[in-house]
Chains A and B, each alone.
Chain A
Amino acid sequence: MSIASTTQQICFLVLSATTVLGALGVVLLPNIVYSAFLLGGVFLSVAGLYLLLNASFVAAAQILVYVGAVNVLILFAIMLVNKQETLAAIPGLLVRRLLSGAVCAGLFALLLRVAFTTPWALPGPTPVGEEATIRIGEHLFTDYLLPFELASVLLLMAMIGAIVLARRDVFSTDVITGEPADQGLIEKDRTPLLIETPATEPTLLSKP
């Protein structure tokens, strides 16, 4: 066995171990911050697996999108709302856990069955290596154009939705409560945040 293949074997074992253990940690750990950081680790080791498969562009994109954007946003959301308090006990927690465990085990058995019964073509197609970037670009703008455009429309919809939800001042009434919308944190002419209006403040001269 040559040095290169031994290194590849070791890398594969380490990466798959971190992926599996990290994913288990994401699901099982009670501390949500640890789960979020472990999720970043899982994404990174999946990117490492892509690198082993000679797909360096996909690996870099995986890091940029999943670690750099998705995971950072998850962490951001957790840290902005994180309150150090214990959650109230949920009735029947054990039954729920057993049920979800059973569902997961069933799914795992199904995937194992698929993995063992599919006639995999070995060895697979020859890796294109550095040409992959060009190949991906060609596919995205020819036969995968529709999914690509649909994904961008989906993202646009999510963005507009987020803006509408965050800026409730565009509505005259609150969507949820039905009361007149007046968000204190949005600066308006009648309620400036930083400067007190001199008219409302009694001065020495105006005092009787």
Chain B
Amino acid sequence: MLSTGLLGAAIAPPGLDLQSSFIDLAQTMGLTPGAARLLWLPLPMLLVLVGAVVGVLVSVWLERKISAAVQQRIGPEYAGALGVLQPLADGLKLVFKEDIIPARADALLFSLGPVLVVVPVILSWLVVPFGQNLLISNVGVGIFLWIALSSIQPIGLLMSGYSSNNKYSLLGGLRAAAQSISYEIPLALAVLAVVMMSNSLSTVDIVAQQTGAGIFSWNIWRQPVGFVIFWICALAECERLPFDLPEAEEELVAGYQTEYSGMKFALFYLGSYINLVLSALLVSVLYLGGWSFPLPVEWITGWLGVSPDAPLVQVITGSIGIVSTILKAYLLVFFAILLRWTTPRVRIDQLLDLGWKFLLPIALVNLLVTAGLKLAFPVAFGG
């Protein structure tokens, strides 16, 4: 395990680069480089958007099926095989529902609120890597961009809570904002410890630092406390059940979404599930080695005696990368769903106590210990 840091720094496989291949192909068909780039630009964005929405449909189906299994029911069964089309039916129902704006509500803010909740979440998919070059943009601020963007969301929640002109909505919006401010700090500190080990904010570099010795070089072994803090905070940011106070149905009807129906409600729904999948993906990027396979692909190609740069091998390793990223993320989504259907909700004072009095000091200590270990064992902790 001590040698993982060195190995990770030494081996940086080139991987699949679809962008340059596409631009080369377009240029052979007689396009200028600028025009080829312009043609390329919307493709990954559309792909990731479609991927995010399909990810939501899958997790809604999983939520229905797993909750049914937990409660010893069968769950959706008739819409498609095993009810896989049920989330699609849910979505269609919401699209065709009447869009109601309450008479005394503030129509402008009421419509803008859900948009402000969804847009930052979708923008954050910009930095989620599925392979060395398989992401929309390898921006230098990487993971910090996600932290910054997720801090816009409470404004949308406050906006919809306020503009609904309903006391439950307002209370829900205030709770959501308080919760997301409290849990953002330990979350950012947990991320900071990982960033300190990889010497970079870029998600691609964070994953590259975890390759080398397969499963043993993943950050979860070096940052177990950080992993737990990050996962708890991510659940709190997504308002998943142990922390779903903003929409606690016994107390607040549905919190900030009480007055919403139709497509605006669907935006909240979509936003919360996209956020869940995004958080799971980022946990897998930060702590579970992202797209790296438990056995390093370089070893496997070495044993098979094939060159890792051959086009077919690159396509296969790229696909393995995408599949393992998604598998890791959905394993975490499964745990989140299981948690939702098996744990009771915390009270608001317990929630704030946990955030400020427990997670924040632990995250600070974790950061300090990581810094000390980085100085003491630069080989293992990315010196």
Contact = CB atoms under 8 A, between A and B. Distances in A.
A206 B140 CA distance: 75
A106 interface: no
B302 interface: no
B162 interface: yes
A103 interface: no
A120 to B, nearest CB: 27
Interface in B158-195: 158-159, 161-162, 170, 173-174, 177-178, 181, 184
Interface stretch (A55-63, A93-101, A167-175): A55-63
Given A68-B148, A79-B170, A133-B201, A57 B155 contact: no
A73 B162 CA distance: 14
Contact of B158 (A60, A63, A72, A130): A72
Contacts of A71: 155
Contacts, number: 70
Closest 9 CB pairs of A and B: A68-B151, A130-B140, A60-B148, A63-B148, A64-B148, A56-B141, A60-B141, A75-B158, A60-B144
Contacts of A56: 139-141, 145
B147 interface: yes
B34 A67 contact: no
Given A57-B141, A63-B151, A76-B178, A68 B184 contact: yes
B355 interface: no
Contact of A133 (B34, B140, B152, B170): B140
A72 B174 contact: no
B351 interface: no
15 contacts: A37-B155, A37-B159, A56-B141, A57-B144, A60-B144, A60-B147, A67-B152, A68-B181, A69-B151, A72-B154, A72-B158, A75-B155, A75-B177, A79-B173, A80-B174
Contacts of B141: 56-57, 60, 133
Given A60-B145, A80-B174, A2 B34 contact: yes
B10 interface: no
A40 B159 CA distance: 11
Interface string B132-160: 00000001110011011101101100110
Contacts of A161: none
A132 B139 CA distance: 12
A60 B140 CA distance: 11
Interface in A113-172: 129-130, 132-133
B38 interface: yes
A69 B154 CA distance: 10
A54 to B, nearest CB: 10
Nearest to B138: A130
A167 to B, nearest CB: 15
A108 B213 CA distance: 61
Contacts of A33: 109, 162
B149 A63 contact: yes
B162 A72 contact: no
B140 A37 contact: no
A79 B172 CA distance: 12
Interface in A28-84: 33, 37, 40, 44, 56-57, 60-61, 63-64, 67-69, 71-73, 75-76, 79-80
A185 interface: no
Contacts of B38: 3
Interface in B345-382: none
Contacts of A68: 148, 151-152, 154, 181, 184
A204 B119 CA distance: 62
A183 to B, nearest CB: 17
Contacts of B162: 33, 79
A76 B159 contact: no
Which residue, B147, B162, B170, B178, has most C-beta atoms of chain A within 10 A? B162
Of B34, B141, B201, most A-chain CB atoms within 10 Å: B141
A82 B145 CA distance: 33
Nearest to A67: B152
Contact of B147 (A64, A79, A132, A133): A64
A7 to B, nearest CB: 10
A68 B157 CA distance: 12
Interface in B287-309: none
Nearest to B37: A3
Given A3-B38, A79-B170, A130-B140, A64 B155 contact: no
Contacts of A60: 141, 144-145, 147-148
A73 B184 CA distance: 14
Contacts of B140: 56-57, 129-130, 132-133
Contacts of B158: 72, 75-76, 79
Nearest to A66: B151
Nearest to B38: A3
Nearest to A129: B140
Nearest to A2: B34
Contacts of B174: 76, 79-80
Nearest to B170: A79
Which of B144, B149, B154, B155 is packed against the most chain A CB atoms within 10 Å? B155
